[in-house]
Amino acid sequence: MLNHKYDRDIPSAEITRESDYLSRRRFLKNLSIGAAGAAFLAACRSSGVTQPALDATPGSTPAAAYTGGQRDELGRAITSEQSITTFNNYYEFSTNKDGIGELSRNLVTSPWQVEVGGLVHQPRTFDVDELIRLFPPEERIYRMRCVEGWSMIIPWQGFQLSKLIDAVEPMTSARYIHFVALHDPVQMPGQESDYFPWPYEEGLRLDEARNELTLLSTGLYGRPLSPQNGAPIRLVVPWKYGYKSIKAIVKIEFREEQPATFWNTIAPDEYGFYSNVNPAVDHPRWSQNTERIIGQPVRIATLPFNGYGDQVRSLYEGMDLKENH
Amino acid sequence: MRVRHIFWFMVIMHAGCLIPLAWLGAGYFFGRLGADPISALEQFSGRIAISLLTATLLVHPLASLLKQPLIMKARRPLGLYTFAYVLLHVLILVGLDYRLDIPLLVTSYVDKPFIWFGAATSLILAALAITSFAWWRQRMGVWWGRLHRLIYLAALLDLAHFFLVVKGNLLSLSGNLARPSIYAALILLLLLLRLPVFRHHPCPDISTHTDDT
């Protein structure tokens, strides 16, 4: 009955048009074309990716052009850049969403290095500029569903995490990836709070990390990421609650054991390791059945896996998603 | 403190209670409440409500401490303003956020403890607001005072509501607990002041002279 009500409440603009549905098929196709980058990666491997900086042309940071996509594959209009850059959850700076932009303005994001190591054959520290040259950014319009019950549709630029994973050649024992964000209380005043287990850390199972949807983002709306959005490089995992998409990454480590994650450490019952968007599994303290898209006043039904079920459902086959929330 | 002073004290009190409302209303209608104005309204009205509830509890100890019984005149209006903001808080949730979709509200919140703590707070404050008129006070006699002592229970329930609605974990003292912790410290202090040990002046609106502080 509820669902019926929702169907009626969805503005006509939100209903997927056939053309959008078709473009979604194209989008999926494009994703697989993205795998053409594999050829490039193969080249990397053969030439020894340990020194890709030598291959990359210095000083030519490709502009991640925003191609002007206005809707996601479900036909939902993208959120305004103004909202995306002024409404941020980034406790490293403040718990006040609209104060992050100002507080983070002077964060030094260049030069910036990301240490990639652990159970890999080719551990390396990459400069972010170098990553952008090695893995040219592509555009992905993704829904971002926050555990607090709001969502945005964001035109990211970035590259598939799988490309970086292939480049460093994980060992067969690697089953998880651990991500660590910058820990610098001088630049990030929120980290002076003892209420939180700094630094921010996150984790994915290796197959989740390799999924074609999982992105390392360096830009949005065609501009390099602003500090408040996770500059210079952040994770984007669109079928999981927003807090999984860790910002300002300095370390990526391949592991055999499941890594600790920031919110799971704080409240294990409330924030599971998987944190897949799931309207059927409430946060113990609030419901997850609906959400409000920022900029729109009406609540809509939250979709399982945030609407990316076709691409990710198989990752969790046979798993109890309530148990493994 | 003279009557003239208490007049200005009351003017400042009323202004202090109404300015947030004006600020919220203007912010909403001129689109100055950020990217998610409905959440901003919900959270802001809730914070004002618990602030005013704390202020209401503060009146009696303050009057005792300063030996200014006239300050007691502020207690009833502060209590009523508290209830007004609680009502606003509820109306924003039900009317603006959920667009009067009661079935959805029920399925979303029926099993969530924070909503029940909030609802209990609202009901107590409603009862106190309704019976705050002199007519009721005369009618109820000794029961009026007993009923109105429930404001302390309301304050504790409101604290529980606040702690449950923020992200974090009270047991491990981690998460977004700074704000509710400040209110908890204040409210618990004010509750402590109600213990007999600290109560030299059970009725400061009558007794003004003291030399045993």
Radius of gyration (Cα) for chain A, nearest Å?
19
- Structurally, how many domains does chain A consist of? 1
Task: Look up the CATH number of the domain holding residue A266.
Answer: 3.90.420.10
* Residue span of the structural domain in which A282 resides: 2-316
Secondary structure (DSSP) of A181-244: E---TTT-GGGG-TTS-SSPEEEEEHHHHHSTT-EEEEEETTEEPPGGGTTT-EEE-TTB-GGG
Residue B175, pLDDT score: 81
What is the 3-state secondary structure of A255-320? Answer: ECCCCCCHHHHHCCCCCCCCCECCCCCCECCECCCEEEECCCCCEEECCHHHHCHHHHHHHHCCCC
Cα–Cα distance list, A230 to A92, B28, B111 (Å):
11, 29, 35
Confirm whether A274 is domain-assigned: yes
Longest dimension (CA), chain B: 59
Residues in B touching A97 (Cβ below 8 Å): 34-36
Strand ranges in A9-137 using DSSP code E only, listed in sequence order: 113-118, 124-127
Give the residue from chain A lying closest to B174, CA to CA: A195
What is the tens place of the pLDDT at every residue in A240-293? 999 999 999 999 999 999 999 999 999 998 999 999 999 999 988 888 999 999
Strand ranges in chain B using DSSP code E only, listed in sequence order: 168-169, 174-175
Determine contact: B100 vs chain A, CB below 8 A.
no
Find, among A181, A195, A63, the residue nearest to A129 by Cα: A63
Confirm whether B206 is domain-assigned: no
Confirm whether A180 is domain-assigned: yes
Q: Going residue by residue through chain B (213 aa), what tens digit of pLDDT does each one get? A: 677 888 999 999 999 999 999 999 999 999 999 999 999 999 999 999 999 999 999 999 999 999 999 999 999 999 999 999 999 999 999 999 999 999 999 999 999 999 999 999 999 999 999 999 999 999 999 999 999 999 999 999 999 999 999 888 877 788 888 899 999 999 999 999 888 777 665 544 443 433 333
Amino acid at the residue B183: Y
Confirm whether A321 is domain-assigned: no
Confirm whether B62 is domain-assigned: yes
- What tokens does A55 get? 């291959």
Confirm whether A323 is domain-assigned: no
Cβ-Cβ contacts under 8 Å between A and B: the total is 88
Confirm whether A39 is domain-assigned: yes
Confirm whether B210 is domain-assigned: no
- How many C-beta neighbours within 10 Å does residue B46 have? 22
- What tokens does A25 get? 């098929």
DSSP at A170: B
Bridge-based pairing state of the strands A150-160 and A234-236? unpaired
Confirm whether B207 is domain-assigned: no
Bridge-based pairing state of the strands A113-118 and A124-127? antiparallel
* Residue span of the structural domain in which B108 resides: 3-198
Give B15→chain A minimum CA distance, Å: 26
Asked if the Cβ–Cβ distance from B174 to A266 is below 8 Å, we say: yes
Confirm whether A324 is domain-assigned: no
ipTM score of complex? 0.83
* SS3 (DSSP) at B213: coil
Asked if the Cβ–Cβ distance from B34 to A87 is below 8 Å, we say: yes
Asked if the Cβ–Cβ distance from B169 to A266 is below 8 Å, we say: yes
Confirm whether B46 is domain-assigned: yes
- What tokens does B136 get? 């009721």
Bridge-based pairing state of the strands A113-118 and A290-293? unpaired
Confirm whether A48 is domain-assigned: yes
CA–CA separation, A205 and A132 (whole Å): 24
Element (H, E) at A151: strand A150-160
- What tokens does A88 get? 């941020």
- Structurally, how many domains does chain B consist of? 1
Tokens 């990459």 correspond to A126
pLDDT at A200 over 50: yes
Residues in B touching A5 (Cβ below 8 Å): 101, 103-104
